[in-house]
Amino acid sequence: MFQPVSQRAARRGAIVLLVAALVLSTSACLSKYHTVGVGATGGESVSAPQWYALWGTVPLGGPPDSHALVGKRANYTVWTGMTTWDVLLNFLTAPVGFCRASLFVEF
């Protein structure tokens, strides 16, 4: 029937849950919002990726130009952070020193 869980397996499971909780909670620390004018008034948005080398210390290709993404609009909201897709990609690319974040502009 049921076999008791060994202490080693229980400890390993607890560590995996702790690491998963830490990973999921730290992405919120990387989010930044900036409101220009009265902020986003419509439902339109554009996005651009930001890639970094050396685990986030050296931007590759320069940061995306939010002014070019917005055009001549006077009211918009800029969000910079990590999406779920970014976190999944970072699991694959972080061991070799690269990571990704996203820039979203809503207007």
Q: pLDDT tens digits, residue range 36-61? A: 888 888 888 888 888 888 877 888 88
DSSP 54: T
Neighbours of 47 (CB within 10 A): 13
- What is the pTM for the complete model shown? 0.64
Helix (H, G, I), strand (E, B) or coil at 25: helix
Contact between 47 and 106 (Cβ < 8 Å): no
Token couple for 37: 């004018």
Give the angle 16-21-27 at the CA atoms, nearest 5°: 130
Contact between 93 and 100 (Cβ < 8 Å): yes
DSSP 29: G
pLDDT at 26: 58
| Residues in Cβ contact with 77 at an 8 Å cutoff, skipping those fewer than 6 apart | 33, 34, 35, 36, 39, 40, 105, 106, 107
**CA-to-CA distance for 31 and 37, rounded, in angstroms?**
20
Query: Which residue numbers in the chain have pLDDT < 70?
Result: 1-3, 5, 21-30
